Each structure stands twice: as structure tokens, then as C-alpha cells.
Chain A
Amino acid sequence: MYAYSEFDEDFVRARVRQFRDQVERRIDGRLTEDEFRPLRLMNGLYLQLHAYMLRVAIPYGTLNARQMRQLAMIAERWDRGYGHFTTRQNIQFNWPRLRDVPDILDALADVGMHAIQTSGNCVRNVTADHFAGAAADEVADPRPYAELMRQWSTDHPEFQFLPRKFKIAISGGAEDRAVTRAHDIGLRLVRKGDETGFEVSVGGGLGRTPMLGRVIRDFLPEADLLPYLEAILGVYNRLGRRDNKYKARIKIAVHEIGLETLRDEVEVRFAQTRAEFGGADRALLAGIAGHFAPPALPDGPETIPPGSPAFRAWCDTNLAAHRRADHAIVTVSLKTPGQVPGDASAWQMRLLADLAERYGHDEIRISHRQNVVLPHVRKADLPAVFAALADAGLAAANAGHISDIIACPGLDYCALATARSIPVAQQIAQHFEALKIEHEVGPLRLNISGCINACAHHHVAEIGILGLERAGVETYQITLGGDPTQNAAIGQRTGPGFAADEIVGAVERIVLAYLALRRDADETFGEAFRRVGLGPFQQVLYECKETDDAA
């Protein structure tokens, strides 16, 4: 895993010193709030509905045990004992005090972490496949490229004031686990003969105008990554709209000027940037790649040891195929029904750090699905890992199932939200736990956003829920058939929304309709939806509702 160079260390410490001074000047009145606000946002400090919130980047979702313990320490010492993992592989502390934030940033720097560019109109935290370096279907580990992009984009002088924020995701597997098509730039590692490169898509984004990224280059040789990205960003910086915040993302530029025109402009700029880079990026990447050498995995049995029904159920849902048959990738669900999706207590963070050290080669990943991943666990060690997780309330056997809900913080925390997400997620998860049909239903993504900005990626879930406010009352719209993978699709809206006390019943009707109409247990919700369309689901949603209302 990447360790800060002297340059990184000096840069991050200097930023903390600057921010400490800025906080002091805000408190003693030398800076007005208007002057201070952009400075605090550049360092990840937001002011939310009830408190400040500090958003800390977890670059490409990778942590080691020491870093996880430091996050636990920060949560206990300066916050309320927990943190919230987000869909952009960040952790958010919901209750920091202004005076403490410079100390928190110093504590992060102690373990090679920061909150830089977690806000603002700049290149945000580069996100990656959470199974990177471990997945059986991997073309190449995306993390060295993600770290290269982190270094390139951090404080990049040309790209600190883009028309709008800019999100990049990179996936290394045959399956796209990084939702690349929903990002401003999506990168998928691919092979062409013996050569490794990227399929580059551009103009993806959810929010009020959901669009899937379109392929601007089907094969970009990996050596050209940074010059090509710099060309896209340069063209966007010039052509992106600055007159209307809602039309400022690159997706609107792609829509308005057309992919072909954008591609031509990018190629012209790329001819220049490619010459300018002159190989420095290649040398940097070679140095970075050494930090991501795969761990030396000991041999072991390729079968999972026997165990209780609970252990077997957990193995069925929470393990993914490792490139080594005697190892497994463990997803630790932060979605125990009734809990706040993505929250972890300091104590749980420490336990996960201990498990990573003892059984997982000191590697931890945070997934965009708001779970924690131990990417390299020997199959022989799975019973011990499961037992420790169960003691900590972390053994929910639901990864990828309906109660593994992505939920944004919603109106319980967020100043932008229009409705609450967390209570709805809790109710749905508890309802399906009580019904005991989750394993019969099988894989099913359900995402809940508390406003149109779509932080929870509801458009690309098989069941998406969007919370809105209508005349002082929360209402929840449903979309069906979204897909975040390489077969990306934007979900289709079923019709009018549902009140807070109707939404759980509506989801149940959708799920029961799917069970009734699927061809067999192997036909997933997404496949069934593509076959039958919205019609049967609209029927159970709205005809039943009318009957209920009439009764």
C-alpha cells in the first residue's frame, strides 16, 4: 500500500498549518465567513444541518490497520464515537468542533491521510473497485493508477476552479464494481493483445440530470493515462458552462456539443499534453506500483471449513472469489438491519483493524456500497473471522441483498436533503429481515437518496428510492431496473411517489411481484425486469394502492 513520500508529507503538513492559521483568523475576525467558507471546503469541512461535518478521503478505498485505528481515535476523541462511510469512499465525521479540526487534520497526516479536495469544484477523491488486487476476474490492479491520479490532481494548478466538481472512478475487473459509467470520467482496465489500457468513458453522472458515461476512447494505452486525462480536463475547463451550476458538469457539455466534437477537441489537446509530459508520469507510476505489490499469501485448503448454519449463510452472501482458490474476499456488512447504513463505531473500526492485521495482510477496503472489505483472507481462517465479526455485531449475512441498502445521510444530517433516508432504510431492512425471504430473493440492490443530488446512486439500483418533499410532507419516488455495472442502466420511474408510511409496503409488493414472475431462482431481479418491463410492477404498486385506498 502507498506510503507518503517526503514530498507528500510536507505538502499535507503545510496544508494543515495553513488551515490552522485560517481557523484562528476566522475566530478572531480577520477572516469573514464569506472568505473562510471556500477555505474550509477545500479542506473537507462542511456546515450541515445540525453541525460541522468533516469529509476525509480514503483514496481508492484502501486503508491499513493503523489508519483505521486512527479513524477510530478521531471518532472517539473529537467526534461522537462513530464515523460514516460514503459512496465515494470517504469517511464523514458528523460532529467535529471548528477549533478541533486542525488537530484532526494533523492526526490524519500522521497516518498518511487528508481531507483535501473532498469538496469544491476540483477533481475529487478517485474511487476504485473495492476488490482491487484480489478479485479473480481482475485485468490489472487499478490502485497504482488511482494513486497516480491522486498525486496528479491534488493541487493541480489548472484544475482547482473547474466549472463544477469532477469525479473519476477506475475499475480493474471484468465486472465493473466502481460504477464507472456514473462518473465524469470512468476508466476500465482492459487488455488488447498483450497490451494493457483503458476504456475511457466521459460524461456520466447522476443527480438531477442522470446520464451514463459514453465511451470516448475504447482503448487508451496505459502509458497515455495522465496526458489524456489532462486533455479532457483542459477541454472541459474551457468549454464547461459556468453560467448555470446545474448545467456545469461535463455530462452537459457532452450532451450539448456532442461526443464527437468533444473527442476531436480532446485529441487536439492530447497531442500537446502527450508531448509535454515527457515520461515523468511513467517514472512516477513505476515508483508507485512498487507500493502495491501483492502480499505473500500462504497456501491453504481450498475448501471452506464446516460451520453453523449462520456461518454458511454468511459465506454464501459475503464472500467473493479471490484470484487464489485457497483465499476469499470478505465483505463485512455495515448494514445490520436496524443500523444506520455505513456507520461504524470506533470499537468496530478497531476490531476490523485487528482482523485485517491478524487474518488479512493488513489490508482493508471501503466499498462504494458503504461496507468494509477484507480482501485477502485464507479460507481456513473464515470461521475465526466470522466469530469475531459476530461478537461485534458485524456478521450480517446480506452483502448484495435487499437489506444491504446504500443510503445517503438524508435530512437527518444533510443541509441539501429534502427527505430522510436513514429511517426508510432501517424500516425496509428490518421488514425484510422479519419476512425471512431475503435469501430466496437473492441479489438485489436497493439504494435510497434523500434528494435529487443522488449521493446514494438510486438511479443505478434495481430498486431506487428518491426522497422528496411535497408541501411539507416527505414523499418517496421509486425507479426500477437501474444497473451500476458494465451493463449500466438508469432506472425507470414507476409513477407517483409514496408517503413515508407507504414506502415499505410498496417495496414489498415489488419484491413479491418479482418472486411471482421470475422464471426460476436464477433469474435475477434485473434480468426479470429487462424481460417484463415496468408494467407488472406498476400494476402491483398502483392497483393495490387504489384498492387499499378505497377500502
Chain B
Amino acid sequence: MSRIAMPVVVAANDLFDGDPVWMTPGGNWSRSLADAEVIGDPAGAEARLAAAMAQADRVVGAYMAEVRPGPFGPVPVDFRERVRARGPAPFALPAQAAE
């Protein structure tokens, strides 16, 4: 199924608010990529992905994302995944009322 290079993390979106989430070593979900379990072997990755997909009551669209180790945790290889992990740019919001 998966042809992506190891290591990987398992990513998804939270069912209730759509937030990007990553699977932790304990099988829970974190909103921080730094908490994600980094999986090095393909069989282990497939098993974790299957476990993630079984949690349809918590997450949507689980998939594997290729990462490389970084000083503060895993760093996605794919550009889109890096943007996803970083969150949207803190744009200036349109003008609000004075108070």
C-alpha cells in the first residue's frame, strides 16, 4: 500500500474541529507534530495506520507523512506537510471595532 520512504508519522484531521493531528506513541492524537511517533519500519507503519483508520470516531482521513529528524522533533519532507504542521500564517485580520 505505502511506497513512501521511512521514517513516517501518521497524520489526520480531528473529526470535530478539523485540526491537523498526529498519532503519538501511545496511540493518542496530538495537535503538535513534535509529539508524533516516528515510525521507521514499513510493517510498523502499516499497523499504526490501520489503527488510526479504525479511530473514525475521532479522526478523518488518516495517512502517512514522510519525515526526517530535526532538532525539535520530526520535520515533514513534503512542502505541503510542512505548511500543515506550521499552521496558517498569522495574517492581519480585517479591521475590528475599536473596543
- A residues sitting closer than 8 Å to B (CB atoms) are 26-27, 29, 32-33, 47-52, 80-82, 97-99, 334, 338-340, 343-345, 347-348, 392-394, 411-413, 417-418, 420, 422-423, 426, 469, 472-474
Contacts and interface: CB of A to CB of B under 8 A. Distances in A.
B16 A348 contact: no
A340 B89 CA distance: 11
Contacts of A426: 91
Given A33-B56, A469-B79, A98 B95 contact: no
A413 B47 CA distance: 30
A97 B84 contact: no
Nearest to A473: B79
Contacts of A338: 92
Interface stretch (B2-10, B17-25, B33-41): B17-25
B13 A47 contact: yes
Most chain A Cβ neighbours within 10 Å, of B60, B78, B95: B95
A420 B86 CA distance: 13
B30 to A, nearest CB: 15
- Shortest beta-carbon contacts, A-B, top 9: A393-B95, A345-B94, A51-B18, A52-B18, A347-B97, A472-B79, A412-B88, A97-B17, A343-B94
A345 B88 contact: no
B83 interface: yes
Interface in B46-99: 56-57, 60-61, 77-80, 83-84, 87-89, 91-97
A394 B96 CA distance: 11
Nearest to B62: A33
B94 A50 contact: no
A411 B94 CA distance: 19
Contact of A98 (B16, B77, B87): B16
A392 B96 CA distance: 8
Contacts of B79: 469, 472-474
Contact of B20 (A49, A82, A417, A422): A49
Contact of B83 (A49, A393, A394): A49
Contact of B89 (A33, A343, A420): A420
A415 to B, nearest CB: 8
Contacts of A473: 79
A27 B18 CA distance: 13
A353 to B, nearest CB: 14
A32 B88 contact: no
B87 A422 contact: no
Contacts of B19: 50-51
B88 to A, nearest CB: 5
A32 B59 CA distance: 11
Contacts of A26: 15
A46 to B, nearest CB: 9
Contacts of A48: 18
A339 B92 contact: yes
Given A33-B61, A47-B18, A97-B17, A348 B93 contact: no
28 contacts: A47-B18, A48-B18, A49-B83, A50-B20, A50-B84, A81-B96, A97-B16, A99-B16, A334-B94, A339-B92, A340-B94, A343-B93, A345-B93, A345-B94, A345-B96, A347-B97, A392-B95, A411-B83, A412-B88, A412-B89, A412-B91, A413-B88, A417-B80, A420-B83, A423-B89, A472-B77, A473-B79, A474-B79
A81 B18 CA distance: 18
A33 B58 CA distance: 11
B62 to A, nearest CB: 10
A420 B16 CA distance: 26
A344 B95 CA distance: 8
A98 B14 CA distance: 10
B88 A50 contact: yes
Given A50-B87, A420-B89, A33 B95 contact: no
Given A26-B15, A48-B18, A50-B19, 4 more contacts: A50-B88, A51-B17, A339-B92, A412-B91
Contacts of B20: 49-50
A426 B91 CA distance: 10
Most chain A Cβ neighbours within 10 Å, of B80, B83, B94, B97: B94
Contact of B94 (A99, A393, A420): A393
B15 A27 contact: yes
B94 A98 contact: no
A82 B13 contact: no
A343 B77 CA distance: 31
Contacts of A51: 17-19
Contacts of B57: 27, 29
Contact of A50 (B18, B92, B95, B96): B18
A426 to B, nearest CB: 8
Given A97-B16, A411-B83, A473-B79, A348 B91 contact: no
Nearest to B81: A49
Nearest to B76: A472
Given A48-B18, A52-B18, A98-B15, A422 B95 contact: no
Nearest to B82: A472
A422 B18 contact: no
